[in-house]
Amino acid sequence: MAAEHAPAGAPAQGGAPAQGGVPAQANAPARPRLLDRYRSLLPVTEATPRLSLGEGFTPLVRAERLGAAWGLANLWLKLEGANPTGSFKDRGMVLAVARALEAGARSIACASTGNTSASAAAYGAAAGLEVVVVLPKGKIAAGKLLQAQAAGATVLAVEGNFDAALRVVRELAAQGDHPVTLVNSINPHRIAGQATAAFEVCDDLGRAPDVLAIPVGNAGNISAYWAGFRAYRDAGRIDGLPRLWGFQASGAAPIVLGRPVEQPETVATAIRIGNPASWATAVAARDESGGLIEAVSDDEILAAYGDAARLAGVFCEPASAASLAGVRALREAGRLDPDALVVCVLTGHGLKDPDTAAGLASPPVEAAATLPAVMAALGW
């Protein structure tokens, strides 16, 4: 059975009823806000608004059946799809939007392959800010686009890929006629907030993992994890550092190729990026950690995506499965110790991309509403 570690600092579950029939845990300390929990390690001030949608504290799950199938004794999954808008982006967005509010911002903007737009729209709505989202036309998974629209963001679709959208948003932030704060991962507060996931991994394990595997798109997240692990070590909370293993889709692998990809293509839409904004810091994270950044095919991604659901009960979006696909490939190649403690970051929930899931799913088995018919349909 898969075993889940409760996040450190979270209130205990269960317990006997206390006096008057009130559950004992009702008197336990309330779950802290993410920005409060790691306040000493984050760029916040006394004036920073205490914005929160309940981000962070995501499960770290030991995937025993999946690990056994792949020959790994200590495989863990960090389920970032459990964040409020269904992806890891909420960790950095809460800090970026809070600091924008503190600075007097009235508008925020981002370019996105989908998850950033959903997060910016939600936190902007909670903060009462105007939100502008620029997306590559026809390149966004349906679930993500709907999230931004539902939260009231102004959504603009531009011709070209994500890199064209980011260029436009940079120019938008640079103009002075209508001040707007850019909340893509080039905003340093985004990276600082995303580093909290590394803190949580260490808190839940009681140490750093041997290997942390992560999808690489715009490359901000691998940079954030490395910054987080180093900050935790420097604060004396862990002794060692993990190797960071990043994985790009083979059709969108500029770091692996060593050059930008003009027309990136992959089923993993969240990492369909040809010229990552955080390229240099991602390479530094790879090199300083003794890690790697390699490519996996769409077939490998979709195979791992299916295995995660069937063998671990975890439904992630395709881009998330790049970390799983890479770990599986390296284990099969004999490049990963079977006893290593490995954490795969699953960056977003499977419902972010319902079209991919629907295209791979088998149709329901039909049967008459009688016991014999249902038994026959089940092959029992």
List the domain boundaries for the chain.
37-84+189-360, 89-187
Q: Which CATH class is domain 37-84+189-360?
A: alpha beta
Mean pLDDT of the chain: 91
Comparing 37-84+189-360 with 89-187, is the CATH topology the same?
Answer: yes
**Higher per-residue pLDDT: 152 or 4:** 152
The phi-psi region of residue 367 (left if phi > 0; otherwise alpha if psi is between -120 and 50; otherwise beta) is beta
Residue 9 has pLDDT above 70, yes or no: no
Between 207 and 27, name the one with better pLDDT: 207
Is the pLDDT confidence value at 188 over 90? yes
pLDDT at residue number 183: 95
% of the chain exceeding 70 in pLDDT: 93
Whether residue 17 has pLDDT greater than 50: no
**Per-residue pLDDT band at 140 (split at 50, 70, 90):** confident
Mean pLDDT of 77-96: 97
Examine the pLDDT at 112 and tell me if it is beyond 60: yes
Q: Can you state the percent helix, strand and coil of the chain, rounding each to 5?
A: 45, 15, 40
User: The tokens of 363 are what?
Assistant: 């149709």
The residues near 9 (Cβ < 8 Å, ≥ 6 apart) are 31, 32, 37, 57, 203
How does residue 19 score in pLDDT terms, banded at 50, 70 and 90?
Answer: very low
Does pLDDT of 209 surpass 70?
A: yes
Average pLDDT over residues 84-94: 97
Q: Tell me if 152 sits within 8 A of 117, measured CB to CB.
A: no
Q: Which residues contact 378 (CB under 8 A, 6 or more apart)?
A: 365
Q: Is the pLDDT reported for residue 72 higher than 70?
A: yes
351-362 pLDDT tens trace: 998 889 999 999
Range scoring the smallest mean pLDDT among 26-30, 141-145, 149-153, 293-297:
26-30
Does residue 261 carry a pLDDT above 50?
yes
Q: Comparing C-alpha atoms, which of 305, 317, 297, 246 is closest to residue 276?
A: 246
- On the question of pLDDT at 11 being above 80, the answer is no
Predicted local distance difference test score (pLDDT) of residue 15: 36
Residue 27 pLDDT class (50, 70, 90 cuts): low
Fold of the domain spanning 89-187: Rossmann fold (3.40.50)
- Rounded average pLDDT over 272-290: 96
What is the arrangement of strands in the sheet containing 154-158, beginning at the earlier edge strand?
154-158, 130-136, 107-111, 181-182
